[in-house]
């Protein structure tokens, strides 16, 4: 510990997603950090790489009925249903707070139609102090019988094309993919072709819990998203596959990260940044913990630069 801290000064922890540079690669995960205010009670938001906001939509949204959560073995299901105040109130209240707190900001956007994504990008284009957009395409597309965008290569592509067109080269676009697909590499391929600068992997897996006492689905929304350590092996696999196919595209990894050793798996698989989601529910200081532990583990392994470790498992695997 002593040693690590001493050596820290020589360790370059910074990472980048296209032109966006972050002092360290540990971010919050979308939907798992409230508006930022709540976590700021536990640590200064400047300490972490970036705050990824909950996915914001064009209009206010009540979300799904309760119960909205169920604990599962080493994980949880949630069915929040993207509750949020809509882009206007978000820009009026949440963004100014984050700016004042000095946080690096990645805004996550979500829409019900391709147009929604375009409108959101337009509203966000000129906002000062944003580092990147995360485009959450794990949303039902109302124009296509509610099929989730991320499950349809064509729809995924259309969303990214629109956002790219609106933004020009102004802000890096990180597209967040769902693991609930037959071939995540082919979806990645589409969104990269459409102009994604980076990918966020993975969103939650679709799951269900049945309450054995009421004998019906436990969640108000019936199904929910599975997150937490349970899904980490799926995240590692998805990141490994996508990094293998597109080694130059930076990946923001997430899925069950609660410690430095967990984050290290994602980094070796190919993640240039790591978001911490569910772990924050169990430990308000989880993001900081992951940040400190990961640095120590990398230093112990002789890395002097975080970026050298990204995708290392691919290089060492063929030795």
Partner 1 sequence: MKINRRAQQRTVEIVSNKRVGAYHHMIFAVGDMALHALPGNFVAISVGGPGSAMVLRRAFAIYRTHDRGNYGGTLELVVAPHGQGSKWLTALPMHATVDMVGPLGTSFGIPTEPVNALLVGGGYGSAPLFGLAELLKDGGSRVDMVLGASSAGKIYAPLEGKRAVNSMTITTDDGSAGTKGQVVSVLAGLIERYDVDIIYSCGPMAMLAAIQDIATQTGIMHQCAVEEAMACGIGVCMTCVVPLRDETGLVKMSRSCIDGPVMDGASVLWNSSGKIPDGTFGAPNV
Ligand X SMILES: Cc1cc2nc3c(=O)[nH]c(=O)nc-3n(C[C@H](O)[C@H](O)[C@H](O)COP(=O)(O)O)c2cc1C
**Which spans of this chain sit near its own copies (rule: CB under 8 A)?**
70, 72-75, 77, 151, 180-183, 205-210, 212, 214-217, 222-224, 226, 228-234, 236-237, 240, 256, 261, 264-265, 268-269, 297, 301, 312-313, 316-317
Instruction: Name the minimum Å distance from CB 91 to its own copies.
Output: 34
Strands 271-276 and 251-253 come out as parallel
Q: Residue 130: count other Cβ atoms within 10 Å of its Cβ.
A: 22
List the single partner that 203 binds among its own copies, partner 1, ligand X, none, CB under 5 to 8 Å by kind.
ligand X
Q: Which of 33, 121, 139, 231 is catalytic?
A: 139
Strands 75-78 and 223-227 come out as antiparallel
Alpha-carbon span 310 to 313, nearest angstrom: 8
Q: Residue 303: count other Cβ atoms within 10 Å of its Cβ.
A: 18
Q: Residue 215: count other Cβ atoms within 10 Å of its Cβ.
A: 7
> Are 196 and 17 in contact, with CB atoms under 8 Å apart?
no
Whether residue 139 lies in the annotated active site: yes
User: Quick one: 9 or 41, whose CB is closer to partner 1?
Assistant: 41
List the single partner that 62 binds among its own copies, partner 1, ligand X, none, CB under 5 to 8 Å by kind.
partner 1
Region from 125-133, 141-149, 215-223, 271-279 binding ligand X, contact rule CB under 6 A: 271-279
Establish if 39 lies at the interface with partner 1 (CB under 8 A): yes
Establish if 30 lies at the interface with ligand X (CB under 6 A): yes
Of the candidates 79, 86, 139, 81, the one whose C-alpha atom is nearest the C-alpha of residue 112 is 139
Residue 64 φ/ψ, nearest 5 degrees: -85, 160
Find the binding residues for partner 1 in span 186-215 (CB under 8 A). Answer: none
Contacts of 181 (CB under 8 A, 6+ apart): 150, 151, 187
List the single partner that 210 binds among its own copies, partner 1, ligand X, none, CB under 5 to 8 Å by kind.
its own copies
Q: How far is CA 220 from the centre of its chain?
A: 25
Alpha-carbon span 67 to 114, nearest angstrom: 30
Of the candidates 87, 25, 14, the one whose C-alpha atom is nearest the C-alpha of residue 57 is 87
Instruction: Name the minimum Å distance from CB 48 to its own copies.
Output: 22
List the single partner that 265 binds among ligand X, partner 1, its own copies, none, CB under 5 to 8 Å by kind.
its own copies
> Are 163 and 119 in contact, with CB atoms under 8 Å apart?
no
Instruction: Name the minimum Å distance from CB 30 to ligand X.
Output: 4
List the single partner that 237 binds among ligand X, partner 1, its own copies, none, CB under 5 to 8 Å by kind.
its own copies
Q: What letter does residue 318 receive in the DSSP assignment?
A: T
**Measured on CA atoms in the order 296, 255, 135, 110, is the torsion positive or negative?**
negative
Establish if 113 lies at the interface with ligand X (CB under 6 A): no
| Residues with active-site annotation | 139
List interacting residues with partner 1 (CB under 8 A). Answer: 31-34, 37-42, 54, 59-69, 71, 73-76, 78, 80, 83-86, 220, 228-229, 258, 278-285
List interacting residues with ligand X (CB under 6 A). Answer: 29-32, 54-55, 78, 80, 82, 108, 136, 176, 203-204, 225, 227-228, 231, 254-257, 276-279
């Amino acid at each position: 510990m002593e040693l690590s801290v001493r050596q820290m000064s020589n360790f370059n922890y910074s990472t980048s997603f296209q032109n966006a540079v972050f002092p360290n690669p540990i971010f919050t995960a979308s939907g798992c950090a409230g508006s930022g205010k709540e976590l700021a009670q536990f640590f200064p938001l400047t300490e972490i790489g970036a705050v990824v906001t909950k996915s914001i939509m064009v209009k206010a949204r009540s979300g799904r009925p309760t119960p909205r959560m169920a604990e599962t073995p080493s994980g949880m299901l949630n069915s929040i249903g993207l509750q949020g105040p809509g882009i206007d109130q978000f820009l009026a209240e949440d963004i100014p707070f984050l700016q004042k707190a000095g946080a690096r900001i990645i805004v996550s956007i979500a829409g019900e139609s391709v147009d929604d994504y375009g409108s959101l990008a337009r509203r966000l284009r000129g906002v000062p102090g944003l580092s990147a957009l995360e485009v959450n395409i794990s949303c039902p597309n109302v124009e296509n019988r509610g099929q989730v965008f991320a499950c349809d290569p064509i729809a995924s592509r259309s969303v990214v094309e629109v956002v790219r067109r609106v933004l020009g080269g102004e802000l890096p676009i990180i597209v967040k993919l769902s693991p609930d697909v037959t071939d995540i590499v082919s979806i990645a391929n589409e969104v990269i072709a459409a102009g994604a600068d980076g990918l966020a992997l993975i969103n939650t897996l679709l799951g269900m819990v049945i309450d054995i006492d009421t004998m019906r689905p436990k969640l108000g929304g019936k199904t929910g998203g599975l997150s937490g350590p349970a899904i980490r092996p799926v995240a590692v696999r998805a990141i490994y596959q996508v990094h293998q196919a597109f080694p130059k595209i930076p990946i923001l990894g997430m899925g069950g990260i609660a410690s430095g050793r967990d984050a290290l798996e994602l980094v070796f698989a190919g993640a240039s940044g790591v978001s911490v989601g569910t772990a924050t529910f169990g430990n308000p200081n989880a993001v900081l913990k992951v940040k400190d532990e990961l640095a120590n583990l990398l230093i112990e392994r002789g890395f002097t630069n975080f970026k050298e470790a990204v995708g290392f498992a691919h290089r060492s695997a063929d030795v």
